[in-house]
Amino acid sequence: MSKNMKIILIILGCLVLVCSGVVGAGIYWYTTSGKQMMEQLSQGVKQSVEDGGNFGSGKEDTACLKEAMNRLQKDNSMQSMVSVNMFLAGCLGKSKQTPGFCAGVPSRGDFTRTSTWATQKCKEMGVPTQGCGQLMGVVQAHCDSRNESSEPK
C-alpha cells in the first residue's frame, strides 16, 4: 500500500471517529435534556396560540396585529419573536375579519412583492425590527388561507 493511500485511510478513519462522537453526543444530549427542552418549547408554542385566541375572540384582526407589534417592541429576542408569531396566528384565527385587512397582501408564492410589501407595512407602522417582517409573514399566511377558503370550488 502506498504512503498516500495510508494517509487517506487514516484521515477517513479520523473523520468516522469524529462523526461518531458528534452523533453520540447528540443522542446523549437529546436523551438527557433535549426531550425536556423540546416539550417546554412545544408547551410555550401552544400557550402562545391559546393566548392569542383568547385575546382575539370578539376583537378585529387589526387589534391582533397591533397587540403583536406592541409585544414585539417590548422584547424582540428570538424566543419572544417565536412567541409573538404564534400569538398572532392564534389571534387572527379567532378574530373578526376587518374589510380591507387583506387588501394588497401578496400571495405567499409571490416572493418579489412579499419583501417590498412587508418592508412598506413595517415602515407604515413604525416598527423597524426584523420581527416585524416575520409578523407580516403570519398576516400573509392568514390572508392566503382566508382567500383560499372563500374561493369557489
Residue 77 DSSP code: S
The answer to whether residue 77 sits within a structural domain is yes
The answer to whether residue 2 sits within a structural domain is no
For residue 89, the cross-strand partners are none
Q: Domain limits at 86? A: 38-150
At residue 125, the pLDDT reads 84
At residue 153, the pLDDT reads 42
Helix (H, G, I), strand (E, B) or coil at 58: coil
Q: How far apart are CA 123 and CA 12, in angstroms?
A: 53
CA nearest neighbour of 58 among 87, 84, 88, 91: 91
Q: How far apart are CA 21 and CA 18, in angstroms?
A: 5
pTM: 0.72
The answer to whether residue 128 sits within a structural domain is yes
At residue 150, the pLDDT reads 56
Q: How far apart are CA 24 and CA 50, in angstroms?
A: 37
pLDDT tens sequence across 46-59: 899 999 999 999 99
The answer to whether residue 47 sits within a structural domain is yes
The answer to whether residue 25 sits within a structural domain is no
- Work out how many domains the chain is built from and give that number: 1
At residue 109, the pLDDT reads 83
- Which residue positions in the chain have pLDDT lower than 70? 128-129, 147-153
Q: Is there a contact between 64 and 114 (Cβ–Cβ < 8 Å)? A: no
